[in-house]
Structure 1
């Protein structure tokens, strides 16, 4: 009898009545029947590993071997599976407290050196900014930087998550001295800026203003929430009405109530505004870079 016929008979005998050796050592049987076809050998291994032999009230179970790969067909990757993987990945990012590491972007010393703690005169203080004020020195309010750090980290984390999900970010500033800096910051991170006079209805009546269906930004970043010393920026109210997330630097003369993520800080001094612009830009870039990395991993 030839070797191939002998191997085929071994396989046929083991498939019809598997012995204990076949159950516990399937590779040994396949090695004996090495001249049999690979498909028959693979079938033998799968059949053996799915069979149990009861001897002396003891059950022998075997882990499926690597021969399963010979019969397993690769599952086609559908668009729905990719979409579910992306959604799962984005949801997992929300479970991490600081997924993008925005807490390492700044320290209390950075805030102090940028003069973020300097507020306005005591007579201009807004009543709802009192909890964020540390004290008063020579008639000037001093902002509590510990609270600023907490609110700033939260706002940067939210901003990074929005950028991670390909959201649109709109920088808004009405201070002419800081307008160029804000526009350059938005351009550097691939986002948008509005530093001119705000026309009523840009958010609330966008379809009429732009003559077509328009996508509103996912977040508005206010480098100062006032139009002038006393009047609040019109975009603050429109963003709240249209449920657009707002992140705003609120000075001691500002109203923080309808800002979704207020950041107590100096919104006038150039060094302070420059620090906030750099932090916002870095957070957006961190979110976009992380998305590029995760997306390439899925592919």
Structure 2
């Protein structure tokens, strides 16, 4: 059972003060401040996911590559830097900001013992995603998704079933035209979602959209590595506070 109290050293007080007005009486003689788990959730970067990558790492992993201009979804315009040779280019500063938010929530879900389910459609990168989920001791689904598994789970499985606390979509389309059915089902059931949204995708139903390339194996491998590190950091903290 997780403890309700987490201790922070005084050298982190500047970020802790942003959360709430902590009184001096909360500090003990060992040089620590105690905050509740709910306040820890609002901590700007308790698991230090900010240090997992740089914008150059995103560039090297080809995250900035989008699709052709003609396939651009207008809802992706806020995340676009421009175009080159007829192909859309993502603004990697915005991608980095959204990706860090997604990694942070993934680490918090893991810290609180939540179930995380990875999704990917397409055989080219499915092995990478399945291996990542296995290494994290979580779950993955990389094949056809039958609608109603979330929304009608009791009849689908013949029993009351615990649904995932977080779904991570490494791509959000079933094919070139249609969105992954699980995104709609997760939204109906109020399940938090993280999604890598390419320039031809709709980010609106995703809780934490991450604009970027969702096709290249090097990009998918890069995302998987980051989410694995974030989840493992959350689980490690959970063990430390048991």
Q: Which residue of 1 aligns with 2:166?
A: 219
Q: What's the CA shift for 1:84?
A: 5.1
Contact 1:189/1:281 (<8 A) preserved: yes
Partner Cα separation in structure 2 for residue 92 and residue 188 of structure 1: 29
Matched, 1:205 2:152: yes
Where 1:268 maps in the other structure, the secondary structure is coil
Partner Cα separation in structure 2 for residue 293 and residue 181 of structure 1: 29
Unaligned 5+ runs, structure 1: 1-78
Q: CA 1:289 to 1:84, structure 2 compared with 1: closer, same or farther past 3 Å?
A: closer
Cα deviation 1:72-123 (Å, max 9, x = unaligned)? xxxxxxx9xx86558x642242242100000000000100000000000000
TM-score between the two structures when normalised by the length of structure 2:
0.86
Matched, 1:267 2:211: no
Q: Which residue of 2 aligns with 1:60?
A: none
Match for residue 288 of structure 1 among 228, 235, 241: 235
Q: What's the CA shift for 1:211?
A: 0.3
Q: Which residue of 2 aligns with 1:182?
A: 129
Cα deviation 1:169-219 (Å, max 9, x = unaligned)? 000000210111100000000000001100111100000000000000000
TM-score between the two structures when normalised by the length of structure 1:
0.70
Contact 1:249/1:263 (<8 A) preserved: yes
Cα deviation 1:34-76 (Å, max 9, x = unaligned)? xxxxxxxxxxxxxxxxxxxxxxxxxxxxxxxxxxxxxxxxxxx
Contact 1:90/1:165 (<8 A) preserved: no
Contact 2:187/2:205 (<8 A) preserved: yes
Q: Which residue of 1 aligns with 2:58?
A: 111
Contact 1:117/1:266 (<8 A) preserved: yes
Q: Which residue of 1 aligns with 2:187?
A: 240
Partner Cα separation in structure 1 for residue 238 and residue 184 of structure 2: 31
Contact 2:118/2:139 (<8 A) preserved: yes
Unaligned 5+ runs, structure 2: 7-34
Partner Cα separation in structure 2 for residue 219 and residue 251 of structure 1: 20
Q: Which has the higher strand share?
A: 2
Q: Which residue of 2 aligns with 1:74?
A: none
Summarize the alignment of residues 128-207 of structure 1 with structure 2, pairs less than 5 Å apart.
128-207=75-154
Contact 2:120/2:126 (<8 A) preserved: yes
Partner Cα separation in structure 2 for residue 83 and residue 173 of structure 1: 35
**Bigger Rg over Cα:** 1
- RMSD of the TM alignment (CA)? 1.4
